[in-house]
Structure 1
Amino acid sequence: MEIVDCVQTSLRAVGKDEHWIRDWIVRKPSRLGLGDLEIRRHEIVRREHHGGRIDILAYRREVNTFYEIEIMMDDSDADHGIRTLAFWSRERLKNPDANHVAVLVSEALSVKYQSLLEGLPQVLPFIGIDIKVLMLASKKRLVAILPSIIVQSRDVTIEIGDSANRAAKSLPFTGAESAEKNCPKNPYLML
């Protein structure tokens, strides 16, 4: 096995945009580490109740839970956070008999609003997923994408990894040091 050096980069630096990362997640939603999700809709435009857009609406049947997923490139900003919570709230009203979890996916989630992100899961079902993009030093141009759950509500049940055979379990953790313990062992590669 060859071990290569790597340098952290961004999706923009390797020529990818928010639509690319959305499609990457839609093709294989288990990459987020939330279990076997069924994508109900993506790039949803809402005109009623002040309009707006949500990136992905996913559903996990065995726990009757919808995931309202907002994707953000670069640093986190308040607009994406508010949009995530607004769509979470609207979807709860549309499907009141199901559980709902607001999910924010960002390349720099843990930097700017860390105290807010650590407080949100204490009052509502919220998951924050940080995406690291690593350029590998090799002859081929390889980039690894490593999504990590860095904050989540204690009562949210998820399944680690891609296997449907693993038992669902609650992961009560917040903060980056806990995320390091629960990172996937094989980051996803793109050429």
Structure 2
Amino acid sequence: MKIRTSTRIAMRDSPAFSERWLQEYIEADPSVLGLGDLRVIERERRMPGGGRLDLLLIDPDSGVRYEVELQTGATDGDHIIRTLEYWDLERRRYPHAEHVAVIVAEQVTGRFFNVIGLFNRHIPIIAVQMEAYDLGDDDVLLTFATVLDHVAASPDDIEAAAAPVFNRQYWDEQTAPEIMDVVDGLFELLREIDETVTPKYNKWYIGVRTGRSVTNYVAFHPKQQWVRTELRLPEEAVDDAALEAAGIERLPYRKGWHRLNVNPGNTDEAEALLRDLFAAARQRYEDSWGLSWGSPSA
């Protein structure tokens, strides 16, 4: 084993490490950020009102968009504000996508953590600290480490903050009729389990109301070609082979939620599987909260 010594490089003071160079380096391989197998939508994206977003990345599996700002040196107020501003602009332009703000800097300061703390976790933001080391012989090691990861709120968290101004008409105007037909079919399956279930329309997703209570053991995100269906179940509770046999696409498991893409034209096999999964998610939700809604109606 050969051990090599290294010297830390102050990237901000080195002409070799400009922000444009960093853009091109990350654009060539976004996985270096350690945020997953992301794809580049655009570099130096023009923003309304002026300014350019360094990188706009997307997770091709989940559709989550990452608004990335780069900075050599320590995080400063301008870059922090710009990161949040560009995240908010993109979130407003594409409201049906999930967005995460990302700041990449040579040093993430205590002031940055203080500023982000003021938002009380209401903004999904990731901070990545990068470091460069001179290994000699013109070799340089560049590392990226996540030092802050505030994930997006869960459907229950969003429910608490959502204003009750979104309704069926809102979703009909935003979504193709055949996709809303899929949503209607999914609620029919839910009503086979409990006839009191009704949709709870929100800006970002369609939740579930049982009687007078919001019970988000399942949530629906209508997209252009399918309905992303999220179920709160343990990872091992869903059989990949059964999903494949039913023609249902499964996205990566994420923080307690199974995510499935349900397309128009479900087969009987798919409907039976979804009904069973809905029933399991409902039962687990009931057990978790010590609730009792009576026996299923069907």
Do both share a fold (TM > 0.5)?
yes
Structure having the larger proportion of residues in helix: 2
Map Cα deviations across residues 23-48 of structure 1 (whole Å, 9 max, x no partner). Answer: 000000000011111100001122x3
- RMSD after superposition: 2.1
- State the distance in 2 between where 1:142 and 1:74 align: 21
Q: Take 1:125 and 1:36, find their aligned partners in 2: how far apart are those partners? A: 19
Q: Unpaired segments of 5 or more residues in structure 2?
A: 154-251, 256-298
Give the SS at the match of 1:30.
Answer: helix
User: How far, CA to CA, are the matches of 1:127 and 1:3 in structure 2?
Assistant: 32
* Rg larger in structure: 2
* Aligned length in residues: 156
Residue 70 of structure 1 is matched in structure 2 by 69
By how many angstroms is 1:82 displaced? 0.7
Counterpart of 1:128 in structure 2 is: 127
Give 3-state SS (helix, strand or coil) of 1:51's partner.
Answer: coil
Q: CA deviation at 1:123?
A: 1.9
Aligned equivalent of 1:185: none
Matched, 1:15 2:16: yes
Q: What is the aligned-residue identity percentage?
A: 28
Match of 2:6?
Answer: 6
In the TM superposition, structure 1's runs of 4+ consecutive aligned residues that sit over 6 Å from their partners are none
Residue 78 of structure 2 is matched in structure 1 by: 79
TM-score (norm 1): 0.74
Q: How far off its partner does 1:119 sit?
A: 5.6
1:55 maps to 54
Per the alignment, residue 186 of structure 1 pairs with none
Contact 2:101-2:126 at 8 Å conserved across structures: yes
Q: Distance in 2 between matches of 1:10 and 1:168?
A: 39
1:108 paired to 2:145: no
Counterpart residue identity of residue 150, structure 1:
V
Read off the aligned partner of 2:127 and give its amino acid letter. Answer: G
Whole-Å separation in 1 of the counterparts to 2:113 and 2:77: 12
Matched residues in 1 for 2:84 and 2:2: separation?
A: 43
2:77 counterpart letter in structure 1: A
Structure 1 residues 145 and 51, CA gap change in structure 2 (3 angstroms): same
Q: Partners in 2 of 1:121 and 1:8 — Cα distance?
A: 34
